[in-house]
Amino acid sequence: MSDYIHPQRDAEFVLNELVQFDQLCKATGQDEVNAELASVILTEAGKLGNGVLAPLNKVGDLNHPTLVDIDGQSGVESGVRETAGFADAYREYMDGGWSSLTGAEEFGGQNLPNVLGTAVNEIWQSANLAFALCPLLGQGAIESISHHGSDQLKQAYLPKMISGEWTGTMNLTEPDAGTDLAAVKTKAVPVNDHYLITGQKIFITWGDHQMTDNIVHLVLARLPDAPAGVKGISLFVVPKFMLDEQGNPAQRNDAYAVSLEHKLGIHGSPTCVMSFGDNGGAVGYLVGEPNKGLAYMFTMMNHARQGVGLQGLAVSEASYQHALEYAKERIQGTQKDGSRYSIIKFPDVRRMLMQMKSSTEAMRALCLVASAEIDRGNSARVELLTPIVKGWVTELAQELTYLGVQIHGGMGFIEETGAAQFYRDARILTIYEGTTGIQGLDLVGRKTLANGGQHLAELLDEIAEGISRFEALGGQFDLAAQQCRIALENGIAARQWLLDNKQDLSAPGSASVSFMMLFGYLCGGWLMAKSALQAKAKLDAGEGDPEFLNTKLTSAQFFCEHMVPRTQSCLASIQAGSESIMKLDELQF
Amino acid sequence: MSDYIHPQRDAEFVLNELVQFDQLCKATGQDEVNAELASVILTEAGKLGNGVLAPLNKVGDLNHPTLVDIDGQSGVESGVRETAGFADAYREYMDGGWSSLTGAEEFGGQNLPNVLGTAVNEIWQSANLAFALCPLLGQGAIESISHHGSDQLKQAYLPKMISGEWTGTMNLTEPDAGTDLAAVKTKAVPVNDHYLITGQKIFITWGDHQMTDNIVHLVLARLPDAPAGVKGISLFVVPKFMLDEQGNPAQRNDAYAVSLEHKLGIHGSPTCVMSFGDNGGAVGYLVGEPNKGLAYMFTMMNHARQGVGLQGLAVSEASYQHALEYAKERIQGTQKDGSRYSIIKFPDVRRMLMQMKSSTEAMRALCLVASAEIDRGNSARVELLTPIVKGWVTELAQELTYLGVQIHGGMGFIEETGAAQFYRDARILTIYEGTTGIQGLDLVGRKTLANGGQHLAELLDEIAEGISRFEALGGQFDLAAQQCRIALENGIAARQWLLDNKQDLSAPGSASVSFMMLFGYLCGGWLMAKSALQAKAKLDAGEGDPEFLNTKLTSAQFFCEHMVPRTQSCLASIQAGSESIMKLDELQF
């Protein structure tokens, strides 16, 4: 497991050939940033990921965090003890300046492009998903305060959160309020300049630990006079330790982890039940205006959801490397001359490896292209791509990590092998930050029907243009281009079906996940087609490494021939509509 | 988890309407067996499954078997201690006569039809997969001895194995010999009337336990003068305790479990490393003739592989029931009048539930229809359907148990909920008894190309006849029948492609898994279409429970509209051929 190596060449290929990184930096006024700097940064990040975080991945899986709960007499602070070794790794991560990469300059950040932060983040997530969740969620807390907090809150919290000295958490879910945040019950009562928060939150990732000397909880709660439902939720900052006049952590706040979940995967990440106000109320500070908490959550949702999509890519890449190594080493067949060979010679093993390899490349392309749209401020496109990145990439990650186990045969089922951990860790990705069902609904509803399908039409036009160029390539890409053309037509038909059937209130929901998956495969095909075009152009111009570029051509060919045709069955399911989905009454199930 | 209830009505529907159980019993000369008796047997089995085995399912997941290894001084016998409670459950299972259901009458068996045994076996596997593996593998040992053993071996072992007083194991795999049995190294040296066996076997399910007073190991090993490769493997009976002159277990044999695997799932089933002959050699008895071990394995493979396919159905059914209960109880949405409702109202949750419900019904239909072909002695059809049952059902089970977790949202990832256990347990099913890749190769090679596609053509003709009748139904089935027709054409095209492309040596292997999956969905659609035809006929005749029969109509409609179209992407992948799969050299991965 410590053998993970960041596929830097592919990341740079996507940055340079699909994202046009240099151009992006110029266009966004970051003249001093360019591909060369990105390459140096990725190399350095790779060292930390490969050398420090990856070796702790299995350690965290086996040695879960524990909750120490000793009464006050002993003088031992109760709370979560993270896996041994994680605190040192976190210190290296922080000291290397990795926490502040994309942070705002005025609060000590390095202000690098979001897309570069995303490319670097892939490394942390591949190396150690459980560890890397901590800064990923901290990023959400930073954004909440950055966009909506008062100057006072920003000055007090952002510098240390951006530097990584303090981590941040997101406290949304309650036992009866998961996807349905309207049901949030946690209370906030105003007292002088602050509020007293009482309530319980569940599924709080990295809700407590000892790696830093403070933790900043962002908490959704209701004011006493708040309207019912989602329009009555406010957002609060609740630090683990309140700050003294110098801004340093001082008095312990009334916010505690009271239990840890026993989970299928990401064992190294403590998932806490957090209790606020058991001893009178946790001190909290209102972020922005009252009753706008939900809207504030939405502003950072694109970032967080793209981050989880990226986790899908990252865990698939790690699983692929693990399986590839096994396939090369595992001797199984005997040739006629008695010599033996490894299982990578078998066509079906190759089929699985190609599926993993080409799909991770397509995912990487989509993740970075979508991330760069945030830099470009292309908000319509960001809105549209985000549920596809979150939904499609994480769903496909299930299949890829499944194949990672399958390639190992019986050894894959044995935990010591390590393949099963990627499979278990990946399983959370289609659930948290909005399930796949929520991503599908978001795509068909707010991102498509709400604008009459206009944004999707613009994307389809751009895809059509790319596919036309792909068709002109010819040769080994004839079938690949033909499949992309069919997928495009399927995408056009799906959009039209959605617009034509919105009078059936169950139609969008029934079609939603197939709709989202269809556009995932279509976008993947489009970006792999673009990759092939760029690789071919470079080969023709005698630029770049021909070995890598030729590999990219085959990978693109495979993806378009074997994965893109899945849009067919997605479209069939969409067009079947809601009839047989909604027909049974509940007792008939 | 103890809430599993066997879906007896559906099992009986398949037995009566698709298998034509009464007719089958008459045709095979078992006049005293009929649907009425089957119903009584299923009801009684259901009580044991629901009441005794299911409540132990989670117990086994949490309390793994342990290996006790105490030196001889203490007087404690070393060996595996199974999960507490399993021995009592096993005693109830045996005392109820369940072990002998399909056993030969001359050795004390009840000689009931294989298909009825399969229907009953579904109950054990749904209730407790880890427990039920023990008799499932014992069945393989019984068959090996029944078909190939000497009369002496049969008389000595079969009565107690059929009664369940002794269990049986299959010892094939070695560290360097998994799928590739040519590499088996275990040795057998003749001494008087027996052989001394030395060697190590891995992945031996239920290789040791204390539930019975003997265990009969079937072991593949090589004689001193055996030819290399698969033509030099012989099969031996190696009892844990050798028999005295009265045929009772006496002296301990030199065959020990030396370690247990730490697995992703089926924790309640001990997976042993077995060591034979560490103290001079384990006494073994040759089954049949020397060097024919592999052929003997193949004779029971259909049964064992169909048994694992059935496990895919069984764990999916259990997962479905668990998810359905949650979907009905989990309150999430709020209606305009402020009243709240459960998540089963949401179209996307219904889509997942319908996918689970209709797919388990299609799987059940295929498992029982294939099993009945064994009773009918229709060996060509058995050979053809077996890799589809094993491959397709277990692959689809991965998706269904995945959805079982997904419906639970965040709770699905928490182990206490129980949904994750089905997902983890299911993961072995596409691996053992031949991976999915092996099933695909078996289907395209020995089962199709080897007979020029004749057997597949006969199946396609029968499917065509069923689909023509389905098309005539009309009404709610217009689209469903249309999708079945397309799937049939895809099946015909896939067969033709395979026959046309066999000159490319990599083509069958490249296409194999997609080919197998295509025929799985096609067979599922065909049998659900037949189910709809039968249900419609009964409704029209005023027979049966209209509520159940109408539910079956919707289930069939859903399966044909939403699942059957997947044959499209399977065919596209098949027809893309081996080019982009085989193109990269190993270093390019």
pLDDT tens per residue across span A416-458: 999 999 999 999 999 999 999 999 999 999 999 999 999 999 9
| 3-class SS string, A170-188 | EECCECCECCCHHHCCCEE
- Closest residue to A350, CB basis, from B476, B562, B581: B581
CB contact under 8 A, A584 and B435: no
Please tell me the pTM assigned to this model: 0.97
Mutation target to probe the A interface, by most A beta carbons within 10 A, among B58, B179, B204, B580 is: B580
- Closest residue to A440, CB basis, from B262, B348, B483: B348
In 3D space, the residue among A160, A130, A131, A149 whose CA is nearest the CA of residue A241 turns out to be A160
Residue B182 has a pLDDT of: 85
| Residue B446 predicted with pLDDT over 90 | yes
Least confident residue range of A337-341, B96-100, B135-139: A337-341
Query: Which position has the token pair 């319980």?
Result: A200
pLDDT, tens digit, 9 for 90 and up, residues B219-260: 999 999 999 989 999 999 999 999 999 999 999 999 999 999
- Closest residue to B414, CB basis, from A261, A353, A579: A261
- Closest residue to A569, CB basis, from B262, B569, B581: B569
Q: Where are the domains of chain A?
A: 438-579
Residues near B319 by beta carbon (within 8 Å), at least 6 away in sequence: B356, B400, B401, B403, B404, B419, B422, B423, B426
CB pairs under 8 A between A and B: 235
Q: Rounded mean pLDDT of A195-221?
A: 97
Residues near B381 by beta carbon (within 8 Å), at least 6 away in sequence: B370, B373, B455, B458, B459
pLDDT, tens digit, 9 for 90 and up, residues A63-114: 999 999 765 556 667 899 999 999 999 999 999 999 999 999 999 999 999 9
Q: Sort out which chain A residues have CB atoms less than 8 A from B442's CB and list them.
A: none
CB contact under 8 A, A583 and B173: no
Residue A198 has a pLDDT of: 98
Query: Which position has the token pair 């790690």?
Result: A318
More confident residue, A178 or B572: B572
Name the active-site residue from B17, B122, B433, B561.
Answer: B433
pLDDT, tens digit, 9 for 90 and up, residues A378-418: 999 999 999 999 999 999 999 999 999 999 999 999 999 99
Q: How many CB atoms lie under 10 A from the CB of residue B56?
A: 23
Rounded to 10 deg, the angle between the B507-540 and A347-375 helix axes is: 80
What is the C-alpha to C-alpha distance for residues A352 and B407, in angstroms, rounded to an integer? 28
Q: How far is A295 from chain B (nearest CA, A)?
A: 19
- Closest residue to A410, CB basis, from B173, B229, B506: B173
| Residue B179 predicted with pLDDT over 80 | no
What is the C-alpha to C-alpha distance for residues A168 and A214, in angstroms, rounded to an integer? 9
pLDDT, tens digit, 9 for 90 and up, residues B39-69: 999 999 999 999 999 999 999 999 999 999 7
Residue B178 has a pLDDT of: 77
CB contact under 8 A, A351 and B263: no
Strand-pairing partners, residue B238, are B217
- Closest residue to B409, CB basis, from A183, A431, A483: A431
Mutation target to probe the B interface, by most B beta carbons within 10 A, among A264, A522, A548 is: A264
Mutation target to probe the A interface, by most A beta carbons within 10 A, among B264, B396, B411, B549 is: B264
Residue B1 has a pLDDT of: 41
Residue A1 has a pLDDT of: 41
pLDDT, tens digit, 9 for 90 and up, residues B252-307: 999 999 999 999 999 999 999 999 999 999 999 999 999 999 999 887 788 899 99
Answer yes or no: are the C-beta atoms of B12 and B35 closer than 8 Å: yes
pLDDT, tens digit, 9 for 90 and up, residues B304-331: 999 999 999 999 999 999 999 999 999 8
Mutation target to probe the A interface, by most A beta carbons within 10 A, among B351, B483, B501, B505 is: B351
CB contact under 8 A, B579 and A476: yes
Rounded to 10 deg, the angle between the B379-407 and B507-540 helix axes is: 80
| Residue A2 predicted with pLDDT over 60 | no
CB contact under 8 A, A584 and B203: no
Return the residue of A nearest to B583 by Cα: A554
CB contact under 8 A, B581 and A558: yes
Q: How far is B167 from chain A (nearest CA, A)?
A: 23
Reply yes or no on whether B317 is catalytic.
Answer: no
CB contact under 8 A, A431 and B413: yes
pLDDT, tens digit, 9 for 90 and up, residues A450-473: 999 999 999 999 999 999 999 999
Q: Sort out which chain A residues have CB atoms less than 8 A from B405's CB and list them.
A: 264, 427
- Closest residue to B261, CB basis, from A414, A508, A562: A414
Q: How far is B59 from chain A (nearest CA, A)?
A: 16
Q: Sort out which chain A residues have CB atoms less than 8 A from B508's CB and list them.
A: 347
CB contact under 8 A, B572 and A562: yes
Q: Rounded mean pLDDT of A52-62?
A: 97
Q: How many CB atoms lie under 10 A from the CB of residue B199?
A: 20
Residue A340 has a pLDDT of: 80
| Residue A123 predicted with pLDDT over 80 | yes
Rounded to a whole number of angstroms, the distance between the first and last alpha carbons of chain B is 43
Residue B338 has a pLDDT of: 75
Q: Rounded mean pLDDT of A125-149?
A: 96
3-state secondary structure (DSSP) of residue A521: helix
Token pair, residue A64, equals 């879960």
Query: Which position has the token pair 């009309």?
Result: B474
What is the C-alpha to C-alpha distance for residues B496 and B502, in angstroms, rounded to an integer? 10
Q: What angle do CA B209, B144, B198 make, to 5 degrees?
A: 60
pLDDT, tens digit, 9 for 90 and up, residues B518-569: 999 999 999 999 999 999 999 999 999 999 999 999 999 999 999 999 999 9
CB contact under 8 A, A510 and B581: no
Question: Which amino acid, A470?
Answer: F
| Residue B72 predicted with pLDDT over 70 | no
| Residue A561 predicted with pLDDT over 60 | yes
Q: How far is A428 from chain B (nearest CA, A)?
A: 6
Q: Sort out which chain A residues have CB atoms less than 8 A from B583's CB and list them.
A: 554, 557
Q: How many CB atoms lie under 10 A from the CB of residue A22?
A: 16
Residues of A annotated as catalytic are: 433
Return the residue of A nearest to B402 by Cα: A427
Return the residue of A nearest to B182 by Cα: A334
Q: How far is B420 from chain A (nearest CA, A)?
A: 7
Q: Sort out which chain B residues have CB atoms less than 8 A from A578's CB and list them.
A: 347
Q: Sort out which chain B residues have CB atoms less than 8 A from A509's CB and list them.
A: 346-348
Q: How far is B290 from chain A (nearest CA, A)?
A: 23
| Residue A577 predicted with pLDDT over 60 | yes
Q: Sort out which chain A residues have CB atoms less than 8 A from B9's CB and list them.
A: none
- Closest residue to B333, CB basis, from A180, A506, A568: A180
CB contact under 8 A, A410 and B430: no
Answer yes or no: are the C-beta atoms of B56 and B268 closer than 8 Å: yes
Residue B70 has a pLDDT of: 63
What is the interface pTM, i.e. ipTM, of the complex? 0.97
pLDDT, tens digit, 9 for 90 and up, residues A223-248: 999 999 899 999 999 999 999 999 99
Return the residue of A nearest to B173 by Cα: A410
Answer yes or no: are the C-beta atoms of B196 and B284 closer than 8 Å: yes
Q: How far is A464 from chain B (nearest CA, A)?
A: 21
Q: Rounded mean pLDDT of A29-38?
A: 95
Rounded to 10 deg, the angle between the A507-540 and A546-558 helix axes is: 150
Return the residue of A nearest to B487 by Cα: A569
What is the C-alpha to C-alpha distance for residues A194 and A185, in angstroms, rounded to an integer? 19
CB contact under 8 A, A510 and B562: no
Q: Please, which pLDDT band fits residue B333 given cuts at 50, 70 and 90?
A: confident
What is the C-alpha to C-alpha distance for residues B178 and B432, in angstroms, rounded to an integer? 10
